[in-house]
Structure 1
Amino acid sequence: MSAIQMNHPADNQDVNVKARPYRSLFWPIVLIGVGLMWLLNNVGLISAANISVVFRLWPLVLIVMGFDLLFGRKSPAVGAMIGIITVFVFIGLMLVGPALGLAANLDVQSASYSEPLGDASSAQIELDGAMGALTVSASEDSSNLFDASLNYVGEVEYETSGQSERVISLRQTDDNSGISFFTFNWLADEEPLSWDVSLSPDVPMDLDINGGVGSSRLDLSDIQLQSLNVNSGVGQMTVNLPAMADSYNATINSGTGQIDISIADNAALDLDVNGGVGQVSIDVPETNGSVGIRLEAQSGIGNVSVPGDFRRLSGDDGMGENGVWETENFDSAERQITIDYSGGIGGLNIR
């Protein structure tokens, strides 16, 4: 009698046990360290000077990431060790760095600049890279063309040229002090940073404003505006646009943050708005026999909201909304406002 051999499925199958890849503990430990430094700053145990040391030495992070990729993925213990050493090194440098001269120049300085009106018949004004709250408005001093009062860190440059056609430039410069968007938030407990700029309402002006970090309030309602170009940075921005005898062009390129634009009654202008990240709201005048409004919108991620008296001429709904809207009196209106909107992330609200 032949023996009957029983075959079990488990005996005939190759059991492939895949080793789970090691997960490095480097990043969890680093995140704990970052949170610890943030907490120490919030409770006042370390200053902005200490934090600035960390940001000046940020290239060390790339070096440590390289070590983690080479060795940390082979063993959780190695990744944990790299993370712990990294946190201790950065905390140590953060604490002793100011004494070693590694801290950025975070001293808040004050300065004032003035330009007499003189024989100026026109002006081109450039404001570039303000770090802190930026305010621009009409001056109450009829003898000056330009006034600026600053609380700032780092370095600023002020230049002026021309007699009748005046050119004025005020800009934040990079002096390798380590001041940047990343260190700006750590200055919250220091003296507030600000640019307060006053412009003569008696001279036609072309304005070129490049935002930095911080909120901006541009009250241009009493300025003789010939043209406006704004590149916003990071922070909320409010813009009041004037009504001039002649139509003018205004371009606003959004960065990160909400933008609120208000157009004066009886204004006539071509407004180009390029959205970044954040809601854009535009307050328009009431439409009547003399003022008509046309909107051309190419929305990114976000909706377009218009008043009830805007009729849609073209476009359809998709991701965002693209189309053309007009008030019924646009073609016959003496004062025309055209708005060309290219959206980013965030909606457009015409109200």
Structure 2
Amino acid sequence: MYKSLSCVAFFSLFLSACHIGDFEGQTTSLHKSVPVAGEELLEVDVDVPIGKLEIEAGTSTDLYEFDLDYNERAFTPEVNFQKRGSTGMLTFRLSGEGKHVRRMGKNRLNLRLNPDVPVVLRIKNGVGESQIDLGGMRIRELSLENGVGETSISMLTPNKISCDRVDIQNGVGALKMIGLGNLACKQLRFQGGVGGSELDFSGDWREEGDIQIEVGVGGVELRVPRSVGAEVTASKSFMSGVDLPEFEKKGDTYVSYNVDRVSKVLRLRISAGIGGVELKWL
């Protein structure tokens, strides 16, 4: 996998800029759950600037439930839920500069979402680790702004509905996405930054995905199952590389060896900057 050698340096500079000091403060815990009340859609906005974020499927009786541990001297949780018609709207933000926090792990949010209500999920994370398990949920839309640290997103079981759009922006951190085929996504847009990324397209492809990938400094590894074909349109700079094994160039398009043998074909538009793109068959 292509990796950015600058990631560690950027991470160190970022932490220095944040002026993270030695004062730990007091850790406070908060638990909250809201039962289902006829919602047909749940829109969720989550913003965790520092700390660990976990998102997973919850129970069928609760619309959402969360457990939060946070440094009360440096951060304040802002939680707002309202309902408009049959749509529930949850906004969660952990506000505060965090300039006196020595250990990022003091903040930890575990959020569980209803598995039966379709979800529009928007995530913004900063410094820390994020583990997002979408298995068992009904994902209508997904967006992520990944900051510094490691983020893992998995969808190991098929989405119960079609996903209209996935929009991913990776910053300095490392990003790994597994089971993208299970999302049944119609459109996927990925913007890479300094950090390296791995996009695993395994899963049950029910849609012929339209995929746009913009690569920055960090490299991107694409893992594609042989059960689907791929047509790739690629543009690159003289400093970048696009490695597409078992593809044949036809005009301006690279076509995989198996397009005439499979029922689903992924259409990828790749724009590579300094970072390279490597495709591996599964």
Q: TM-score, normalised by structure 2?
A: 0.71
Task: Name the SS of the counterpart of 1:201 in structure 2.
Answer: coil
- What is the distance in 2 between the residues matched to 1:313 and 1:133? 37
Q: Is the Cα–Cα contact under 8 Å of residues 314 and 324 in structure 1 kept in the other structure? A: yes
Residues 329/132 of structure 1: CA separation in 2 closer, same or farther (3 Å cut): same
Name which of 67, 73, 77 aligns with 1:156: 77
1:166-205 matches, within 5 Å, as 166-174=88-96, 179-180=98-99, 183-184=100-101, 186-187=102-103, 192-205=106-119
Task: Name the SS of the counterpart of 2:22 in structure 1.
Answer: helix
Q: CA deviation at 1:271?
A: 1.2
Residues 329/165 of structure 1: CA separation in 2 closer, same or farther (3 Å cut): farther
- What is the distance in 2 between the residues matched to 1:111 and 1:267? 35
Q: CA deviation at 1:302?
A: 5.3
Name which of 223, 232, 239 aligns with 1:319: 239
- What is the distance in 1 between the residues matched to 2:49 and 2:216? 28
Name which of 157, 166, 181 aligns with 1:250: 166
Which residue is 2:184 aligned to?
267
- What is the distance in 2 between the residues matched to 1:222 and 1:165? 20
- What is the distance in 1 between the residues matched to 2:160 and 2:264? 10
Which residue is 2:197 aligned to?
280
Task: Name the SS of the counterpart of 1:276 in structure 2.
Answer: coil
RMSD: 3.6
Q: Percent identity?
A: 22
- What is the distance in 2 between the residues matched to 1:287 and 1:201? 19
**Aligned pairs, number:** 243
235-244 or 325-334: bigger deviation: 325-334
Task: Name the SS of the counterpart of 1:119 in structure 2.
Answer: coil
Name which of 215, 223, 245 aligns with 2:137: 223
The one-letter amino acid paired with 1:146 is Y
Q: Does 1:114 align with 2:16?
A: no
Residues 264/138 of structure 1: CA separation in 2 closer, same or farther (3 Å cut): farther
The one-letter amino acid paired with 2:142 is L
1:1-351 matches, within 5 Å, as 51-52=22-23, 106-139=25-58, 141-153=59-71, 154-162=75-83, 164-174=86-96, 179-180=98-99, 183-184=100-101, 186-187=102-103, 192-241=106-155, 243-262=159-178, 263-265=180-182, 267-285=184-202, 296-301=212-217, 310=230, 312-315=232-235, 318-321=238-241, 325-327=254-256, 337-338=266-267, 346-351=275-280
C-alpha deviations, 1:26-68, integer Å up to 9, x for none?
A: xxxxxxxxxxxx9xxxxxxxxx99735xxxxxxxxxxxxxxxx
Q: Is the Cα–Cα contact under 8 Å of residues 295 and 326 in structure 1 kept in the other structure? A: no
C-alpha deviations, 1:156-197, integer Å up to 9, x for none?
A: 1111111521011111123xxx514xx44x226xx7421100
RCO greater where, 1 or 2, for CA within 8 Å and sep 6 or more? 2
Q: Is the Cα–Cα contact under 8 Å of residues 122 and 164 in structure 1 kept in the other structure? A: yes
Structure 1: stretches of 5+ with no match in the other structure:
1-37, 39-47, 53-104
- What is the distance in 2 between the residues matched to 1:254 and 1:340? 17
Task: Name the SS of the counterpart of 1:320 in structure 2.
Answer: coil
C-alpha deviations, 1:179-229, integer Å up to 9, x for none?
A: 14xx44x226xx742110000010011111111221111111221111111
- Larger helix share, 1 or 2: 1
Residues 272/259 of structure 1: CA separation in 2 closer, same or farther (3 Å cut): same
- What is the distance in 1 between the residues matched to 2:214 and 2:56? 31
Q: Is the Cα–Cα contact under 8 Å of residues 296 and 325 in structure 1 kept in the other structure? A: no
C-alpha deviations, 1:236-265, integer Å up to 9, x for none?
A: 111124535434200011122111112144
Q: Is the Cα–Cα contact under 8 Å of residues 272 and 339 in structure 1 kept in the other structure? A: no
